Structure 1
Amino acid sequence: MDIPHADLAVDQALAERLVARHFPALAAPVELVAEGWDNALFRLGRRHAIRLPRREVAARLIEHEQRCLPLLQRLTPVPLPVPVAVGRPDGEYPFAWSIIPWVAGESGAHVAPGVRDGYARRLAEFMAALHVSAGTGYPLNPVRGVPLGTRTGAVLARLAGLADRVPADELAALTAIWDAGVAAPLWRDPATWLHGDPHPGNVVVGRSGELATVVDFGDVTAGDPATDLAAAWLHFTPAGRAEFRARHDELRETDASTWVRARAWAVSIASAAFAASDGSGPMATMGRQGLDQVLIG
């Protein structure tokens, strides 16, 4: 099982009815494109897409990104899925939902790390633009952007649970990388905006291998930018990682301890993706690829 069971059945017919009822001016042919971890994605005509939560927890996350995306789009030149229409719960469907611009491409989770290297520079530019001070009153996330030490119990328990799927020497190395991140100096500057969930499944790769967009902003928060910089290991091979780091450092000077923490965050995020499935499907593949890259260095 690579994605959790849905709390609510979401299908093409439901998507069609919701659009017709709430936004008839946008009505167009509807086609299921993907059923993700939290949401189902439908194409709506030629220009739009519909994002419908399939799990109750995702309904809160989609409300969060509906609030945050207009602000974040002003920070970065990369086009983001800012809603063109915001759906509210009704008698048939109890969750918030969004109509967003359609972006052609493929999930980064379905693309090999060597191909992802092609957008390393652009993703670095996106993150450098995003990682500015969030000021005050920003949303909090208890598991992202926080000091690594607060996550040690959860991460080490997760690694221990992978003992039947990951060799003992690799688990020992991953634990050492995590410990190094915990021991590194903490982030002391103002909290910066964070995407919060920087794995390859949350980017769309265009036909030429370019970064078409970044998606799934339900975990947007502020804190230590090392959380997002884990992307260096989650997405790329050593060549792409070097390009990503060089371009990010060119735009936003980053000290060595931040990269040490970022590699530890990659342990956390990749192991979560790998552990959250039965070992099959794109989520598991993506998690295993991330762990492999963390071990390479």
Structure 2
Amino acid sequence: MQDQPYSRQIKGFAAPGFGSPHPARRLRGRPLLWGAGALAGLGFLGWLGLQVQPRPFPPAFPGPGVTRTVPLPAGLPGPVDRYYRQTYGERLPVITSAVITGRATLRPVPGGPTFPARFRFIHEAGRNYRHYIEATWFGLPLLRVNEAYLDGVSRQEMPRPLPSSTGDPKGAQAANLGLWSETLWMPAVYLTDHRVRWEAVDDTTALLRVPFGEAEETYVVRFDPVTGRPAMMEVMRYQNAADEAKTLWLNLTLSWAEFGGVTLPGKAAAHWLNQARPWAVFTAEQVTYNADVGEAVRGRGP
């Protein structure tokens, strides 16, 4: 019978260089494992916080609602006439203000994480607006955005490192288009505001001309051939204050919902053509009309 190696003769013992690694070698890799585990835990915690939806803002201050109507004008382009007749019938509500409240998902930085958010948009119809948005983590405010377009002047108050600005001409052009895009939650204004014009293109497309100071901006509005409702609004908009050229900006209606007996966008997305995905998706949960918003539209909070 051949002799067994000495390390095998003594159970539970292994000399350095035989069997198990030296204790110092076993300890050497543990900090790396601990670091990797900590990073994985932090990553999971960060991801988990982004799955928690914020509580909605309290209900908006009530307004008297629609108290006056006017006849639907004649001579509208085919898809425009079809949309308004199925939305309102023969008469249009006269809307002077609107407050749109809901929740959203936002990507403040292209390629960055998507944050749950809650929002309130306050409009003096066709004139002024203010946005208040809170991006959240575990339902708690992480980023607060206050931006407004008042009397033709834009104001953006963004958390650092995002840029803030006041009175920038390119910001005013972008804000003016934000105002008219969100008017889709009060679409009667596109017909009751004498500064707005529709022009025919074909059976499912029309041009929407909206004011911008003494000039005009033009949307291409594409209507769903089945539902007859606007599916997409396209317009050229400045993406950043430093840009020399405008970028195609798409407003997509992803779903529709009933608000006070009127079918309006339930979920809508804002998408720059040079980005792979929409940077924001807004889900409306409450729409209030004709409240006195003169003070609120010039305020700061929700």
TM value normalised by structure 1: 0.25
Larger relative helix fraction: 1
Structure whose alpha-carbon radius of gyration is higher: 2
